[in-house]
């Protein structure tokens, strides 16, 4: 089977009925690129930049960030690279920022909330990203978006830094697509409003599931409630996809669910455009997708939205698509 998969490394991902679905990789540092290239990723769907900021005693400089982003962008050779701005807080700490202790870190001061407050940190990162954009196909994504005001503010700051660099004569790509993570239920529910403001969405199921089910993603005791196939989660995915497509925007997914063999038929059926996963899942996912038809799956997925439990959804998917 491994050999069969290896043959697919240089291929695009097409379903049985000819739909192209982009299979991308999640990375944390430029070191992850070897695995990404070997496994035939069509893009980087999520570059988690917080690792540049962790395990050290001070913020990374603009230059240091620029070098890291540029390395990734250049090695991907014009394939899309979605770089997510700093997503610190929750389970990821930065001791040198002296953030306050909180009762509920996952519901607290994190990610875009910190960046919009501590704008000097945000602006340094955006400048580094903008400079790297001159070397390939960079897209920028903001995490933990809950309101339209946050998106508008983040975009405005991005534009300011872009104009500043241009006026200084620094090379920047003509167009950098700007997107948001959809990982807070309010954003999924109001996706039609957000779709007018962005170039793309990426659904972050790791957080979206924990917030929708009110079950901490790190807590074993409540892990039984952490249910990717719950009809409520599938309905949210559908709302996001439909809202985006109505505005002519594309939708990816970058949580763990994106690389899951049970989820993949459902996501294809719901119309997702891109799946971003750990590099080692890409070839198995590509092989699975070759045997699936989007047309057939759209009515199947629709039917799954009406079932009454995650267990029943999983049983039906396994029975029909994963008999081996």
Catalytically active residues, by annotation? 254
Q: At which residue do the structure tokens 């830094």 appear?
A: 161
Residue 106 Ramachandran class (φ > 0 left, ψ -120 to 50 alpha, else beta): alpha
Q: What phi and psi values does residue 20 have, to the nearest 5 degrees?
A: -90, 125
Identify which of 135, 121, 144 has the alpha carbon closest to the alpha carbon of residue 81: 135
Rounded to whole angstroms, how far apart are CA atoms 114 and 137?
Answer: 27
Residues 6+ apart with CB under 8 A from 266: 229, 234, 297, 301, 304, 313, 317
* Residue 80-119 contact track with ligand PEP, rule CB under 6 A, x = bound: -------x--------------------------------
Could you please report the per-residue DSSP string of 11-62? Answer: S--B-TT--B-EEEEEESSGGGHHHHHHTT-SEEEEEETHHHHSSSSSPPPH
278 in contact with ligand PEP (CB under 6 A): no
Identify which of 305, 306, 268, 273 has the alpha carbon closest to the alpha carbon of residue 289: 268
Residue 60 interacts with, from ligand PEP, Mg ion, none (CB under 5-8 Å by kind)? none
Whether residue 315 is annotated as binding a ligand: the answer is no
* Residue 128-167 contact track with ligand PEP, rule CB under 6 A, x = bound: ----------------------------------------
Instruction: Sort 259 into a burial class: Cβ within 10 Å, 0-12 / 13-18 / 19+.
Output: buried
Nearer to ligand PEP, 255 or 271 (CB): 255
255 in contact with ligand PEP (CB under 6 A): yes
Residues forming beta bridges with residue 81, ordered by sequence position: 44, 138
Nearer to ligand PEP, 87 or 260 (CB): 87
Residue 42 interacts with, from Mg ion, ligand PEP, none (CB under 5-8 Å by kind)? none
Residues in the chain, overall count: 324
Rounded to whole angstroms, how far apart are CA atoms 273 and 32?
Answer: 24
* Residue 37-66 contact track with ligand PEP, rule CB under 6 A, x = bound: ---------x-x------------------
207 in contact with ligand PEP (CB under 6 A): yes
Residue 254 interacts with, from ligand PEP, Mg ion, none (CB under 5-8 Å by kind)? ligand PEP
Q: Which of 63-71, 205-213, 280-288, 295-303 is the region at the interface with ligand PEP (rule: CB under 6 A)?
A: 205-213
Residue 22 interacts with, from ligand PEP, Mg ion, none (CB under 5-8 Å by kind)? none
Whether residue 110 is annotated as binding a ligand: the answer is no
Residues forming beta bridges with residue 92, ordered by sequence position: 89
3-state helix, strand, coil in the chain (%, to 5): 50, 15, 35
Whether residue 314 is annotated as binding a ligand: the answer is no
Nearer to ligand PEP, 28 or 35 (CB): 28
With CB under 6 A as the contact rule, the residue among 183, 199, 274, 314 that binds ligand PEP is: 183
Whether residue 183 is annotated as binding a ligand: the answer is yes
Nearer to ligand PEP, 254 or 272 (CB): 254
CA-to-CA dists, residue 210 to 207, 213, 216, 223, angstroms: 5, 5, 6, 9
Q: Which two tokens stand for residue 66?
A: 């620029």
Annotated binding site for phosphoenolpyruvate: 48, 84, 206-207, 217
Annotated binding site for Mg(2+): 183, 207
Q: What are the residues binding ligand PEP (CB under 6 A)?
A: 46, 48, 87, 183, 204-207, 254-255
Annotated binding site: 48, 84, 183, 206-207, 217
């Amino acid at each position: 089977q491994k050999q069969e998969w290896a043959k697919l490394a240089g291929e695009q991902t097409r379903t049985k009925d000819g739909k192209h679905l982009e299979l991308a990789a999640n990375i944390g540092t430029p070191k992850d690129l070897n695995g990404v290239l070997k496994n035939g990723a069509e893009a980087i769907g999520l570059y988690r930049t917080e690792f540049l900021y962790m395990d050290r005693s001070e913020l990374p400089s603009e230059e240091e960030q620029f070098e890291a982003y540029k390395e990734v962008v250049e090695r991907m050779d014009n394939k899309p690279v979605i770089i997510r701005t700093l997503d610190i807080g929750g389970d990821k700490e930065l001791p040198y920022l002296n953030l306050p202790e909180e009762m509920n870190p996952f519901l607290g001061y994190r990610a875009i909330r910190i960046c919009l407050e501590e704008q000097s940190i945000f602006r340094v990162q955006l400048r580094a990203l903008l400079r790297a954009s001159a070397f390939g196909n960079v897209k920028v994504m903001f995490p933990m978006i809950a309101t339209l005001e946050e998106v508008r503010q983040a975009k405005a700051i991005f534009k300011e830094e872009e104009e500043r660099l241009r006026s200084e004569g620094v090379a920047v790509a003509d167009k950098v697509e700007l997107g948001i993570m959809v990982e807070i239920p309010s954003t999924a529910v109001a996706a039609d409003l957000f779709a007018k403001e962005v170039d793309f969405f990426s659904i972050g199921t790791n957080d979206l599931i924990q917030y929708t089910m009110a079950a901490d993603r790190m807590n074993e005791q409540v892990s039984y409630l952490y249910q990717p196939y719950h009809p409520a989660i599938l309905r949210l995915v559908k709302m996001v996809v439909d809202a985006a497509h109505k505005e002519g925007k594309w939708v990816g997914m970058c949580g763990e669910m994106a690389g899951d063999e049970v989820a993949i038929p459902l996501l294809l059926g719901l119309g997702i455009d891109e799946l971003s996963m750990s590099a080692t899942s890409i070839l198995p996912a590509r092989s699975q997708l070759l045997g699936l038809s989007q047309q057939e799956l759209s009515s199947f997925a629709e039917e799954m939205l009406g079932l009454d439990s995650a267990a029943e959804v999983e049983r039906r998917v396994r029975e029909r698509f994963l008999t081996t």
